[in-house]
Amino acid sequence: MSTEEKYTGWQEAAQREKKTLGERMVLNGKELRSFFGVILFFGVMLILSAWLAGNPFEHTARIGSEGILKRGWGPESDSWAIIGVVTILAVVFEFLDSAAGMGYGTTFTPLLLLLGFDPMQVVPVIMIQQACAGLSSAFIHRELGNIEWSLKPLSESVKLWFAISLSGCLAVIFSISSVYALFQVGSKWIKLYVCLLLFAMGISSFFGRRRVREYKPGRMFFFGALAGFNKGIGGGGYGPVVTIGGIMSGVPVKSMTALTALSEGTVCLVSIVTWFFLLNRGLTMDFILLPSMMLGSMVSVILAPYTVRVLPEKVWKGVIPVYCCVIGGICLIKLLPTLF
């Protein structure tokens, strides 16, 4: 069976590309109802986040990081509040992540660390937020026609999701367990490798954006494993590797951003289970940032897939590789001082 005869899951997106910009902007009642459903979901998650931020478990506690102490919350305090700067940054980075398939954990994590927050206040929270945002974004992408998920007949999109998620989940379990529970080693050299990899993949994808790539789904096992390993190390680096890897494997850009969202959400769910297992092994976490991140994600996970639908495919073929290189550059700038 040829690629054209397969039920890929991105036929509807290809047909929508033939419509005008104005036609792609029009929303029907079903799509508007899906928006309301996602907002309601994040409202519930905001309430749960507030509960977690109050340190309800034995191994959850307020970590006395610089970012917390300057707000007057000492290590003995269970007080929390919406942190404005974190919420605003979450809006920006979640929009970019849901639209381009990358950028939230990779750039937001080091930025939060620079703002004085502890890794145990950042990385586990990023995993929870990205699980909720990734699955919600994938749902909206489907509702807006950027991708289709089908089990009967089994679509290529579902097969790719399984391949990416399986390899990513195995890699993220290994990386979290080995780095945080067994070896306690630094990850700067792994991060340097990923930074250079992002540059290489971004440049290759940009200069090959006009070429019609042959569909090679087998490559996604490798890209999924590499992305999952980096996700477990530092909460970021997943989206750029999977998204650019998918584009290089012949998946249309718009559908690949939706695939990345669903795959990242799945991997993050496994990460959350792994983190909570480590929580019972004596690791202390602080969920003070979670309510701010949930609030910031509420609108972005709707607006980003809508923007993906409206703008032409050729725009994203140029924007996403450039953005990948920008992310790699930002990470490299933050990383270089720690190497010498």
Rounded CA gap, 100 and 254, in Å?
9
pTM of the model: 0.84
Three-state SS at 297: helix
How does residue 215 score in pLDDT terms, banded at 50, 70 and 90? confident
Mean pLDDT of the chain: 83
Return d(Cα 323, Cα 318) in angstroms, integer: 9
Q: In this predicted structure, what is the pLDDT of residue 120?
A: 83
Residue 40's nearest CA partner among 120, 111, 136 is 136
Residue type, 215: Y
Please write the tens of the pLDDT for every residue from 89-127.
999 989 988 888 877 877 787 788 888 888 888 888 888
Q: Stretch 169-173: mean pLDDT, rounded?
A: 80
- pLDDT for 2: 41
- For the four alpha carbons of 296, 299, 302 and 306, in that order, the dihedral sign comes to negative
Q: Cβ contacts of residue 200 below 8 Å, gap of 6+?
A: none
Residues 249, 253, 258: CA angle, nearest 5 degrees: 100
β-partners of residue 151 are 154
Question: What is the per-residue DSSP string for 244-282?
Answer: HHHHHTT--HHHHHHHHHHHHHHHHHHHHHHHHHHHTTT
Share of the chain above pLDDT 70, in %: 89
Are 64 and 75 a contacting pair, CB within 8 Å? yes
Q: Domain ranges for the chain, please list them.
A: 21-339
